[in-house]
Amino acid sequence: MSDSIQVEYDRLKAVSAGPVVSDHFRQFSNLFADQQLWKSYIWLLDIADKPLKGATVVDIGCKYGHLMPLLIAKGAQSTIGVDVDDLYLQPAKDVIAANWPQASFVKSEWGFLPIKSDSADLIIVNEVISHVNPGYLPTMFSEIGRILRVGGRVIISDGNNIANDACRQDLVNVYDAWENGPEGRNTGRDVVEGSFLELRKQRIRGWFPDLGADKVDYLALNTSGLFGDYLKTVIERYLSGGEFIERRYRRGDCPTNPGDGGVVMEYGFYPQQVEMLLGMYGMRAHQVEFAPRIDWSGAKRALGSGYVVANYWLRKILQPNAYRSANWGFQILGVKER
């Protein structure tokens, strides 16, 4: 099986070498083929405990669709990639769908999934829910329940578990970086490429080019969390003399991209929240727990991982409810019952 999967990614690397393919797409293809990044998804698929042969699999937040060759190699009859950004979806259609006819791609808007009801056997949501605007999340979970067949599975995996103290503290600094910048600031997870504060300034200047710099700065500073048409509407009301509520960024709040999609940066969850949301829409859900292990590959690694292991089991003993599955990330399996 591994050999057949690798063949598919070698093929993807080859078709990605053409001049019409972007460097970013090509880099992803090379990672999957040369560094066998596809192997990091095998354990995630194993959580479903259900063979993929003949299945319809949906990948929500698919980006360029690089998971599709793996799903197809493991027997999926059809795969549907979902994303909110045409910058990802169009190359996915041009390259992945053009070479793997079992794959198709659709765009999600406001949390809705343009997929037929009761049509999916497995849905994968990997490192996605922490970027969906919180206002759209209930819709997305409802849609997941709608498109799954009874007995179908959904796997939700994310690295932003605020039941973990260290993760929660780390996120506060990540939030501050993405809201306030400056550009190039390293969060330890990524590098800021245009803070949301600066993006609001750019949007305001584009909408109202005659507005003075001081007004632009004031409005951008006091519209934190607003996005899309509503951001523009609030500013228009202010400029016409209407009421204006100052909404400054509060440290610890997850920041919102002011673009039309309202994408958020690393929104944090208690895993129980996700279980309950799935339960509301007909899916019985539970966390799949992976206890940390000591890494014996070196003295420093062993010491560091030993601390993590000891802390994990201490929390499990002393606070079993508050720290249930308090790893840095979490994986949740949902099964549709109705």
Q: Mind listing the pLDDT tens digit for each residue in 213-256? A: 999 999 999 999 999 999 999 999 999 999 999 999 999 999 99
Per-residue pLDDT at 259 exceeds 70: yes
Kind and range of the H or E run holding 69? helix 68-73
Burial of 213 (0-12, 13-18, 19+ CB in 10 A): exposed
The pLDDT of 117-146, averaged and rounded, is 97
Domain boundaries, the chain: 2-162+268-336, 167-239
pLDDT of residue 323: 46
On the question of pLDDT at 304 being above 80, the answer is no
Backbone angles phi and psi of 145, in degrees to 5: -65, -35
**Contact present, 331 and 156 (Cβ < 8 Å):** yes
Q: What is the DSSP letter of 133?
A: -
Tens-place pLDDT, residues 76-85: 999 999 999 9
Decide which of 116 and 292 is more confident: 116
Question: Residue 151 class from Cβ within 10 Å (0-12 exposed, 13-18 middle, 19+ buried)?
Answer: exposed
Q: For residue 57, give the amino acid letter.
A: V
DSSP 8-state code for residue 329: S
Mean pLDDT within 324-328: 62
Buried b / exposed e across 272-306, counting CB within 10 Å, b at 16+? Answer: bebbebbeebbbebebbeeebeeeeeeeeeeeebe
Work out the number of other CB atoms within 10 angstroms of the CB of residue 130: 19
Per the DSSP assignment, residues forming a β-bridge with 287 are 332
HSE (CB half, 13 Å, CA atoms) of 75? 10
Measured distance CA(8)–CA(99) in Å, rounded: 10
Give the model's pLDDT for residue 54. 97
pLDDT confidence band for 160 (50 / 70 / 90):
very high
- Please tell me the predicted confidence (pLDDT) of residue 104: 98
Nearest to 255 by CA among 207, 187, 323: 187
Give the span between the Cα atoms of 319 and 328, in whole angstroms. 16
Identify whether the C-beta of residue 275 lies closer than 8 Å to the C-beta of residue 331.
no
Tokens representing residue 30 in the block: 């090379």
How is the chain split among helix, strand and coil, in percent rounded to 5?
45, 15, 40
pLDDT at 43: 86
Contact yes or no for 267/130 (Cβ under 8 A):
yes
- Give the span between the Cα atoms of 235 and 237, in whole angstroms: 5
Averaged pLDDT score across all residues of the chain: 92
Res. 310: pLDDT tops 90: no
Please, which pLDDT band fits residue 301 given cuts at 50, 70 and 90?
A: confident
What is the sign of the dihedral through the CA atoms of 307, 311, 313 and 317?
A: positive
Query: 3-class DSSP state for residue 312?
Result: helix
pLDDT band at 315 (very low <50, low <70, confident <90, very high): low
Residue reference for tokens 């260290």: 166
Q: In terms of Cα–Cα distance, which of 146, 163, 115, 117 is closest to 278? A: 146
Residues 334/154, Cβ–Cβ less than 8 Å: yes
Q: Return the minimum-mean-pLDDT range out of 35-49, 55-69, 128-142, 231-245.
A: 35-49
Per-residue pLDDT for 336 more than 60? yes
Q: What is the pLDDT of residue 303?
A: 84
What does the alpha-carbon distance between residue 219 and residue 338 come to, in Å, rounded to a whole number? 47
Q: What is the pLDDT of residue 296?
A: 85
Pick the CATH number of 2-162+268-336 from 3.40.630.10, 3.40.50.300, 1.10.760.10, 3.40.50.150: 3.40.50.150
The answer to whether the bond into 182 is cis (omega within 30° of 0) is: yes
In tens, the pLDDT along 163-220 reads 888 899 999 999 999 999 999 999 988 899 999 999 999 999 999 999 999 999 999 9
